[in-house]
């Protein structure tokens, strides 16, 4: 019934979720969202979490991030700092782009001069150098998501949780951001747990694809992705594995609908 975060300085050991269940409410109105979920993510691994709407994917991320409490089981973040990137950029409209990135640094007690320097470096990392003085409304959807990614990276996390961050973007912008996330993941040696509805996106990005059942969410399949990087979302080998996963997902959704 715990979320464990060991002292910084210990060697990060990835993410370990052990027999986690989450129940909302009590009595007859209780809703079992997750049931006995166990999975591990190795340090430096990119794992995609896939499933039908309402299967508990976002709930699981909230539990890992410590935004909600597990009902049963345990979550161990292995001593690493955790950050969460939401579906929407959730930028503060009254702050500049740099100011939105700096706010994560301010919360960590970083002094003003160092905040400005790091924000500049992070905006360069997400290829937004020169946009620090802009306001969020002046940016495209894809650019706002880059700012949100920079803000997540400002937390210097070892474990990055991403909750369908590209779902609302057009196909070309999403494809470009796939390349950017993969590049940053490699350069920073991050561990990533990435939630998506898009099967091809999961195969395009993941070292593994974990499939959850319909509510209550349970792990029903674990697909290793043995494809060379970099990958293209429309590559035949990506489409082949995505088709296999889609058939399994379709069978699960059909089972639940009966």
Q: Please say whether the dihedral angle defined by the alpha carbons of residues 175, 222, 87 and 148, taken in this order, is positive or negative.
A: negative
Residues near 194 by beta carbon (within 8 Å), at least 6 away in sequence:
46, 47, 48, 49, 162, 202, 205, 206
| pLDDT band for position 100 (cuts 50, 70, 90) | very high
Q: How are beta strands 46-50 and 208-212 bridged, if at all?
A: parallel
Q: According to the model, what pLDDT value does residue 22 have?
A: 94
Q: According to the model, what pLDDT value does residue 12 have?
A: 52
Tokens of 39: 């999975």
Establish how many alpha carbons lie within 13 A of residue 161's alpha carbon, considering only the half-sphere containing its beta carbon.
21
| pLDDT band for position 3 (cuts 50, 70, 90) | very low
Q: End-to-end alpha-carbon separation of the chain, Å? A: 33
Cβ neighbour number for residue 218 with a 10 Å cutoff: 18
For the entire predicted model, the pTM comes to 0.89
- Name which of 4, 8, 2 is nearest 158 in CA terms: 8
Q: According to the model, what pLDDT value does residue 27 have?
A: 80
For the chain, what percent of residues have pLDDT higher than 90? Answer: 54
| pLDDT band for position 198 (cuts 50, 70, 90) | very high
Residue 11 has pLDDT above 50, yes or no: no
| pLDDT band for position 16 (cuts 50, 70, 90) | very high
User: Using an 8 Å Cβ cutoff, are 118 and 154 in contact?
Assistant: yes
Residue 1 has pLDDT above 70, yes or no: no
Q: Average model confidence (pLDDT) for the chain? A: 88
Place of tokens 């970083």: 110
Q: According to the model, what pLDDT value does residue 108 have?
A: 81
For the chain, what percent of residues have pLDDT higher than 70? Answer: 94
Q: Please say whether the dihedral angle defined by the alpha carbons of residues 97, 99, 104 and 105, taken in this order, is positive or negative.
A: positive
The Cα–Cα gap between 39 and 203 comes to: 18
Give the DSSP letter of residue 10: B
77, burial (CB in 10 Å: exposed 0-12, middle 13-18, buried 19+): buried
In this structure, what are the phi and psi dihedrals at residue 176, rounded to the nearest 5 degrees?
-65, -45
Q: Please say whether the dihedral angle defined by the alpha carbons of residues 244, 248, 253 and 254, taken in this order, is positive or negative.
A: positive
Q: Which residue has the higher pLDDT, 1 or 83?
A: 83
Residue 4 has pLDDT above 50, yes or no: no
The model's pLDDT over 152-188, given as tens digits with 9 standing for 90+, comes to 888 888 899 999 988 878 888 889 889 999 999 998 8
The Cα–Cα gap between 142 and 195 comes to: 18
Q: According to the model, what pLDDT value does residue 253 have?
A: 79
Q: According to the model, what pLDDT value does residue 79 have?
A: 78
Query: Which domains are delineated in the chain?
Result: 2-81+157-257 (3.40.50.300), 91-156 (no CATH)
- Name which of 102, 104, 105, 100 is nearest 90 in CA terms: 100
The model's pLDDT over 205-225, given as tens digits with 9 standing for 90+, comes to 999 999 999 888 999 999 999
Residue 257 has pLDDT above 90, yes or no: no
Q: How are beta strands 219-224 and 208-212 bridged, if at all?
A: antiparallel
Q: According to the model, what pLDDT value does residue 258 have?
A: 55
């Amino acid at each position: 019934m715990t979320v464990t975060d060991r002292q910084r300085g210990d060697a990060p050991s990835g993410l370990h979720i052990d027999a986690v269940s989450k129940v909302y409410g009590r009595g007859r109105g209780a809703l079992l969202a997750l049931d006995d979920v166990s999975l591990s993510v190795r340090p430096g691994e990119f794992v995609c979490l896939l499933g039908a709407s309402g299967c508990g994917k976002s709930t699981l991320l909230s539990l890992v991030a410590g935004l909600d409490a597990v009902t049963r089981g345990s979550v161990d973040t292995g001593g690493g700092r955790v950050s969460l990137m939401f579906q929407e950029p959730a930028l503060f409209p009254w702050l500049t782009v740099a100011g939105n990135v700096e706010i994560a640094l301010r919360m960590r007690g970083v002094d003003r001069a160092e905040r400005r320097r790091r924000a500049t470096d992070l905006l360069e990392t997400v290829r937004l150098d020169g946009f620090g003085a802009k306001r969020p409304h002046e940016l495209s959807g894809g650019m706002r998501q880059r700012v949100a990614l920079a803000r997540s990276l400002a937390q210097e996390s070892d474990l990055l949780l991403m909750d369908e961050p590209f779902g609302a973007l057009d196909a070309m912008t999403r494809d470009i951001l796939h390349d950017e996330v993969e590049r940053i993941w490699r350069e920073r040696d991050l561990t990533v747990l990435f939630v998506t509805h898009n099967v091809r996106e999961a195969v395009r990005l993941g070292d593994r694809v974990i499939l959850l059942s319909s509510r209550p969410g349970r792990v029903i399949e674990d697909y290793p992705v043995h494809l060379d990087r970099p990958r293209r979302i429309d590559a035949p080998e990506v489409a082949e594995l995505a088709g296999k996963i889609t058939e399994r997902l379709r069978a699960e959704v059909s089972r639940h609908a009966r």
